[in-house]
Structure 1
Amino acid sequence: MGDGIGRYGGTEGRMSWENRLPQWLRRRPREDAAAARSDRPALLLATAAAGLPLAPAAHPVAFSCSCERIGCPTPARHPVSFAWQTQSTNDRETVERWANDQPEANFITATGMVHDVLDVPLEAGRAALGRLLAEGIDVGPVAESGGLPTPQGGGGEGRMLFFTATRGTPEDEDEWWPCELDCHPETMDEHPGLRWHSRGSYVLVPPARLPDDRTVDWVRGPEHPLPDPLTLLEALADACAKYAEAADEHGDRHSVAWPLHH
């Protein structure tokens, strides 16, 4: 698919990226999102070709959600069908038909089938991504979700999504991956630390639109192989801990490094 799907492919020299990454990650030009949206069918097909199962999702309507549910708790971030787990597919013809027939729809990918997603605050994710690449660790697809630029150059209340191979479908059900990090879709706003999307969960895939002109965009595209999640976990956990410490110093005691409950 080439490195044009994500905003960088991580193929240049390690020291070069180590020096340039902080400045690059602070740039969030709206032109990137506009270009991705115009190439939406190709991006969705590339995601499906990488093996990620997709299903149509709601989309924003003004400041609300296309589902028309009063007080929708996750506007433009949930599947259209209650049968999204069985509906999800990477079949090219089906995804292409959905994309053409529903031009406004966002899409979700069901986790725990082919892949999991490690989901962290945007600031923590950017720091972890820089560390991982500087250390030469293989990082798979990465997306940014819902970040808003701030005067200080931060990412607002966004998230960074690290796509990994799944640990959620063991051959022996007794070896099902029990983890306090597991995240369920309905609790996506309850845990400001690290969340692990595995079997029974989902995330939006780029390009997606959220209320208030926020977007979900690829940082590294789906052409990158899915890594084992455990190879990323230490860097993500450390970054989340530092993020929580900094937030606590500023009086934001809701920002914690790890979920405390489901």
Structure 2
Amino acid sequence: MDATGKTGDAGVSRFGSWWRRALPGGEETQGGVRARSLTRSRSRGTRAATPDERRDLLLAAVRAGFPVAPAAHSAGYRCSCDRVGCPSPAQHPISFAWQTQASTDPEQIDHWLARYPEANFVTATGRAHDVLDVPASAGRLALERIEASGGPGGPVAAIGEDRYLFFTATRGTPDDEDEWWPCELDCHPETLTDHPGLRWHCRGSYVLLPPSSLAGGIEVGWVRGPEQPLPDPLRLLDALTDACAEVGASAEEHWLIG
């Protein structure tokens, strides 16, 4: 199997077959392409969002059905958590119960913002959406090609100049549990430095959500906002794996679900 998940001469994608059987009715999500979010500038590390902007961004995410939970924040170049030598500073949930805590309730969001005014936020994947996570250079290249072809790009977020997050429809939990595995069986989000290529965040994982901030002034912002319809991930995989190959992040060990 190569880095794109293809096997044999027929070039049939293992991940493609795995996904197609779970799509209800075989329908594809479609939608018009809207202007890119004005929050894109924050992905460049220019400035942090104001309290009102933070609330607006989070409410836009929950209106799109993204379950969110509060996360640690930067304290200088350290993490706000009490873990010595935290491997993922400001990039992990505050609570170990984040999977059950994640919510789309606006009142809960307001409560968290009042209680944790400096907190970052994550969204739990595998419930309302999955996320295909790639190096920023590959993400920009793939997005240009997707938009040029009129393809369904869906919501896209950028973590500074490091990573692009492509939000997609989720497979959820299939009827045949023998063919499903949670992300934690392969990796956790903090293993990024060991596996820098394409990562598929599904059930059991999470990603940072705008308006999170990291050390060094790095901001997480929308390139394409959460109001965009969620595309079938198979519609993006070819473009993303090809782009990863072109930027040198296509080794087989860099293909991860998690």
Q: TM-score, normalised by structure 1?
A: 0.77
Structure 2 CA distance for aligned equivalents of residues 96 and 226 of structure 1: 26
Superposed displacement of residue 99, structure 1: 1.7
The match for 1:143 is 157
1:43-82 map, 5 Å = 43-82=57-96
Q: SS in structure 1 opposite 2:247?
A: helix
Q: Are 1:7 and 2:32 counterparts?
A: no
Which residue of the partner structure matches residue 259 of structure 1?
253
> Distance between the aligned counterparts of 2:142 and 2:251, measured in 1?
13
Deviation at 1:186, TM superposition (A): 3.5
Q: Once the two structures are aligned, what percentage of the paired residues are identical?
A: 59
Structure 1: how far apart are the matches of 2:254 and 2:241? 14
CA contact (8 A) 1:165 1:229 kept: yes
Partner in structure 2 of residue 122 of structure 1? 136
Deviation at 1:175, TM superposition (A): 4.1
Matched, 1:110 2:104: no
- CA distance, structure 1, for counterparts of residue 44 and residue 51 of structure 2: 15
* Cα separation, 1, equivalents of 2:216 and 2:83: 18
2:148 is the counterpart of 1:134: yes
The question of whether the paired residues in 1 share the 8 Å contact of 2:155 and 2:166 is answered with yes
- Alignment size in residue pairs: 222
Pairs within 5 Å for 1:1-262: 6-7=37-38, 28=44, 30=46, 33-35=47-49, 39-147=53-161, 158-176=162-180, 183-244=187-248, 255-260=249-254
Root mean square deviation of aligned Cα: 2.8
CA drift of 1:53 comes to 0.5
Contact 2:154 2:229 in 1 (8 A): yes
Residues 123/210 of structure 1: CA separation in 2 closer, same or farther (3 Å cut): same
Task: Quickly say closer, same or farther: Cα 1:234–1:75, change in 2 above 3 A.
Answer: same
Give deviations 1:175-226, integer Å, cap 9, x for gaps.
42699xx653242322111010011110000011001111111111111111
Q: Is the contact made by 2:139 and 2:163 (CA closer than 8 Å) also made in structure 1?
A: yes
TM-score, normalised by the number of residues in structure 2: 0.78
How far apart are the structure 1 equivalents of 2:251 and 2:146? 18
What 5-or-longer segments of structure 1 have no aligned partner?
Answer: 9-23, 148-157, 245-254
Alpha-carbon deviations, 1:213-242, whole Å to 9, x = none?
A: 111111111111111100000000000000
- Relative CO higher for 1 or 2, CA cutoff 8 Å, sep ≥ 6? 2
SS of the aligned residue for 2:158 comes to: strand
How far 1:173 moved relative to its partner?
2.1
Distance 1:5 1:133 in 2: 11
Label 1:232 to 1:141 Cα distance change in 2 as closer, same or farther (>3 A).
same
Q: CA deviation at 1:102?
A: 1.2
Q: 2: distance between equivalents of 1:64 and 1:77?
A: 11
* Structure 2 CA distance for aligned equivalents of residues 136 and 261 of structure 1: 26
Question: Is the Cα contact below 8 Å between 1:54 and 1:109 reproduced in 2?
Answer: yes
Greater CA drift, 121-130 or 37-46 = 37-46
Change beyond 3 A, Cα 1:28–1:215: closer
Separation in 1 of the partners of 2:106 and 2:36?
17
1:154 equivalent in structure 2: none
